[in-house]
Amino acid sequence: MILGVDTGGTFTDFVLFDGQSLRIHKRLSTPHAPEEAILAGIDDLGVPAAGLTIIHGSTVATNAALEGKGVRTVFITNHGLKDMLTIGRQARRELYNLRPPQVEPPVPAPLCLETGGRISATGQIIEPLSRDQLDTLAQQLRALAPEAVAINLLFSFLNDAPERAIEAIIDDDIFVSRSSAILPEYKEYERGIATWLNAWVGPLVEHYLQRLQHQMSDASIAVMQSSGGTIAADKAGRVAVRMLLSGPAGGLAGAKEIGQRAGRERLLTFDMGGTSTDVALIDGDLKLTNEGHIGPYPVAVPMVDMHTIGAGGGSIAYLDHGGMLQVGPESAGAAPGPACYGKGGTHATVTDANLVLGRLRSDAFLGGAMALDTSAARQAIAPLAAALELSIEATAEGIIRIANEHMAQALRVISVQRGEDPKAYTLMPFGGAGGLHVCALATALGMETILVPVNGGVLSAFGMLVGRRSRELSRTVAKQIEQVSAEQLDAQFSALETQAFEALQDEGVSRQQSSSQRSLDLRYSGQAYSLNIPWQDIETSTTRFHQQHQQRYGHRLQRPLEIVNVRVHVKGPKPAIELPRNSQPRNAAPRTVALYGIDQPATLYQRDALSTGERIRGPALIAEQVATTFIESGWEGEIDQYGNIALQRG
């Protein structure tokens, strides 16, 4: 048995594969102790721990980073560089604000230490690291009593001996993060932030996973990484920075799998949960980036390329100082949640608005397992309606329109602003709230096709099941392409692959079962940013770079090319998860319901009552255990062999 678990801000989702069929489950998260919801969900499913494999998408690292709740961490660097993380790139959030608010530094000045061990840009030791300096560092650490230490020396990716020497003098009970192990690439600030983030949240992740492993000692546990691959739980805590997009990466892995089975490999996805919406573009394979962010911090480790906004089902609607209606980014979360949940929430949310408009059915939420309070939703929206001098229904419709515009703009960022035409893609919604907004978003982007996946409300948990064991390793080269031979590059790639293969072998994946993808980060000489290009040979990679640069930026230059980094993505075998075919529909006749703002009655279907090949015409509502889909007028759909709804604009 394999169990995929995605811990979200509002709900914790479960998908169990027993070798033949899928079982799904959903329950409210327990943010104070995420493992409580996981253990309760496993108990609800009645699954024995013995022989169970759990693939987990965790938000522990993400929440700690966003909420500023990491552990006490000391940052060690070379002489004269202790302000590295505070100065950063000197970028201002508000360019013309002459009196910007003071921002707290990532690491307080008393916790920033300097030492020797300075390396040159060619890897030579400029300032040796003496025994006295190591003894001084040891004394300083004993006085500061940190829980974690981040070590980031200049050019450590060329010579890691000084960093290893510092690591050796640190007590075993202190969590150590070394830049030459976490991110052996150039850009000392980005490398330093990644190393510090890993140390800052690492103990929290490690302790959480240890608690989960202790309580599920008979089960095998792995964790989804931000890149869409998995890693054993007992190793995940040491690389916590690679888990910052753990849950969203699972969603994209699941979307890719569903899309491939349905013959739709070019997808625009949007994952709308209770707290936020993540949008991404899939063109055959998941796109990775090393220019991601978490809050204000750059995260240069490989992660799925997505754009996140604070618009979810729990996003709170309010009036700004000018009396204009706004939605998000603040969310009601799991506690107290939207007003209609009946758990003490009083603010109007997107979920409340959908309920008032009739798009959510009070008796069909979570398959009827959780009743929604329409009266409470109306009471929450009433003060906004009174201030706007509108009806409650018209105000609810305004909330939905504003949320839709936020999400449509996010989809434009990931597609149009990168030279991609949304019309060439299929829009795939998932997350508990995605299906309610998908037709409006497709219309706003001029898209013609939609694929609503079966069990889309738990697609991120399903993605955990299909994720492969993987490692993504890189190293900076920083040479013009004509200065490097194919043989030299092959040696660099081979060294990284050997390291990755050995790591996977420790998790039971043999070298014969693994495959490797090689790529280069290339740029024109003098540029600050690079493009990642698959490696085949020097001539082919050069040609592909020019083509991709032309597509992304609209031009190409007659300048030499520089190899910035070499990268390998080593993957284990694909899990043998077979999607069940659409089951025999149960006998449940559709009925008509009235929806606000729609002249004709809408047809309400139960998803598990739809048979393969059945056609649906909007307006219609599709209710299921983990989500609801709203099909607007002008859209028609057909149920495929897996139960997905393929929609086409009429």
Q: What is the CATH number of the domain that holds 194?
A: 3.40.50
What's the chain's average pLDDT?
A: 91
> Average pLDDT, stretch 19-28?
86
483 lies in a domain? yes
162 lies in a domain? yes
27 lies in a domain? no
CA dihedral 228, 233, 234, 239 (to 10 degrees): 40
Q: Give strand pairing partners of 178.
A: 151
> Average pLDDT, stretch 96-117?
92
Nearest-angstrom CA–CA distance, 389 and 10: 32
Residue ending a domain, among 177, 200, 223, is: 200
Cis peptide before 336 (omega within 30 of 0): yes
The pLDDT value recorded for residue 422 is: 95
Nearest-angstrom CA–CA distance, 497 and 119: 26
Residue 521's contacts (CB-CB under 8 Å, 6 or more residues apart) are 290, 474, 530, 531, 532, 533, 563, 564, 565, 566, 567
When pLDDT is cut at 50, 70 and 90, the band that residue 198 belongs to is: very high
91 lies in a domain? yes
When pLDDT is cut at 50, 70 and 90, the band that residue 112 belongs to is: very high
Using alpha carbons only, give the angle 252, 256, 261 rounded to the nearest 5 degrees: 150
510 lies in a domain? yes
> Average pLDDT, stretch 476-501?
93
What type of residue sits at position 575? P
When pLDDT is cut at 50, 70 and 90, the band that residue 51 belongs to is: confident
Residue ending a domain, among 139, 173, 200, is: 200
Q: For the residues of 195-263, what is the DSSP string, one character each?
A: HHHHHHHHHHHHHHHHHHHHHTTTSEEEEE-TTS-EEEHHHHGGGGGGGTTHHHHHHHHHHHHHHHHTT
Nearest-angstrom CA–CA distance, 416 and 422: 7
This prediction has a pTM of: 0.88
Sign, CA torsion 238/175/218/34: negative
289 lies in a domain? no
pLDDT exceeds 70 at position 159: yes
> Average pLDDT, stretch 189-201?
96
Where on the phi/psi map is residue 508: left (φ > 0), alpha (ψ -120 to 50), or beta? left
Q: Summarize pLDDT for 437-481 with one digit per residue, the tens.
A: 999 999 999 999 999 998 888 999 999 999 999 999 999 998 999
Residue ending a domain, among 531, 547, 571, is: 571
155 lies in a domain? yes
Extract the tokens encoding 45: 């499913």
When pLDDT is cut at 50, 70 and 90, the band that residue 367 belongs to is: low
Domain of 81, in residue numbers: 67-200
Cis peptide before 601 (omega within 30 of 0): no
C-alpha distances (whole Å) from 633 to each of 18, 207, 402, 594 are 39, 51, 20, 13
pLDDT exceeds 90 at position 335: no
Extract the tokens encoding 303: 């992660």
- Find how far residue 130's CA is from the centre of its chain: 42
582 lies in a domain? no
> Average pLDDT, stretch 117-139?
94
Number of domains in the chain: 2
